[in-house]
Amino acid sequence: MVLAAVLYLSGCASGAKMGNMVYDGPTKTFDTALESNVEVANVSGGEETNPAWTSEISNDSFAGALQQSLRNQGLLSGAGRYQLEARLLEVDQPVFGLDFEVSTHVKYVLTDRENNGAVVLDETIVAPYTATVGDAFVAIKRLRLANEGSGKANIAALLDKLSELQIQPGEISLNQ
């Protein structure tokens, strides 16, 4: 009875929406080897949302946001030389509060299919985002907004890392 009352007053939880996690900022500059040459091979570690519990980030939503972000930056390919895998290691969420800070921990591995699967990038990115009462009064919606903001910030940080890559024949390095 108490759970039903809470759900009635606050609504049902909904998962992070793909479109709200897509990086829509300025186009970055990337090494020409990456242009139209990155395939999203696998996204794992996400969770489906239980409407009676809390908002989560699903594999499908994160994969879609990652692919659209790469497409917007001119990097996505259906069968690219470079394969990107993303594993959501943790989505650190608050249990209660006024401001909800969510941090996504995502491990990205970019490999070169033409170079025996050589690892080009192996990076775990932690990206926090805070949604406030001003963003949404209802806590369930505020948590979803924090999840989406953190997912988007994580993808933006990945794009920053990819823009630092300098790929030379037989050599790969980060621009420092």
- Asked if pLDDT for residue 147 goes beyond 90, the answer is yes
Could you list the beta-strand ranges (E) of the chain: 38-44, 82-92, 100-112, 118-131, 165-168, 171-174
**pLDDT band at residue 164, thresholds of 50, 70 and 90?**
very high
List the structure tokens of 167: 């790929």
Q: Which helix (H) or strand (E) holds 18?
A: helix 18-21
List, for residues 3-30, the tens digit of each pLDDT value.
Answer: 333 433 356 777 778 899 999 999 999 9
Do residues 89 and 106 lie in contact, with contact meaning Cβ atoms separated by under 8 Å?
yes
pTM: 0.84
Average pLDDT of the residues in 74-80:
93
Residue 170 structural domain: 2-174
**pLDDT reported for residue 51:** 62
**pLDDT reported for residue 12:** 79
**pLDDT reported for residue 101:** 93
Selection from 1-15, 107-121, 123-137, 157-171 with the highest mean pLDDT: 107-121
When divided into structural domains, the chain yields a total of 1
Residue type, 169: P
**pLDDT reported for residue 7:** 39
Average pLDDT of the residues in 57-62:
93
Looking up tokens 């033409």 gives 114
Average pLDDT of the residues in 149-153:
97
**pLDDT reported for residue 54:** 78
**pLDDT band at residue 89, thresholds of 50, 70 and 90?**
very high
Kindly report the average pLDDT of the chain as a whole number.
86
3-state SS, residue 168: strand
CATH code of 62's domain: 3.40.50.10610
